[in-house]
Structure 1
């Protein structure tokens, strides 16, 4: 799946099932909520916090997918070609960080 296709799929879903996009501020709040759910799972499953019984069946993949869905909504409604932006960002990070992490003593 490429990002452009994912943006189209989300837009189609919104038009067929969601009536319309929530406004940008509502989607930003939703994104924050979804990221919080990911953080909760990570903190309890992989971090030092104990995992509550009610959290043990939470699916990290589904929560990450929720984050991606809302990001795609925000990109669509603000006119962002996320594939282009991602490709540009990856190129920038590759050029900027090519040797940086290899030289980081903390990562050895």
Structure 2
């Protein structure tokens, strides 16, 4: 996925924006996701003239912007994912009630 994003960005002269600009864009996209979540699962109703949105579409936008940021900072998200899953599996193995009933090793 990161390679496809890089190929897309590489076709433009501007290339990758600076990290702070990317963070602003990511924040913007997360806000749009929050709005859709609120409309679909929260108390806030859409205005009558608002078009329906999609949580899936907004999650996709967040993913793309996140990959753009990772690419520009030379971060491999697959490697990052694996490291973080190892951390969560170790740190949070018994943090929540488990379906298998285990409470510790």
Give the TM-score normalised by structure 2.
0.84
Correspondence for 1:75: 70
Larger Rg: 2
Greater alpha carbon shift after TM alignment, 9-18 vs 82-91: 9-18
2:39 and 2:13 mapped to 1: Cα distance?
Answer: 32
2:64 and 2:36 mapped to 1: Cα distance?
Answer: 18
Whether the 8 Å contact between 1:38 and 1:63 is mirrored in structure 2 is yes
Instruction: Pick from 64, 78, 86 the counterpart of residue 91 of structure 1.
Output: 86
Correspondence for 2:101: none
CA-atom RMSD, angstroms?
1.7
Name which structure has the greater RCO, CA cutoff 8 Å, separation 6+. Answer: 1
Per the TM alignment, residue 17 of structure 1 is displaced from its structure 2 partner at its CA by 4.8
1:42 aligns with 2:37: yes
1:53 aligns with 2:52: no
Secondary structure at 2:11 match in 1? helix
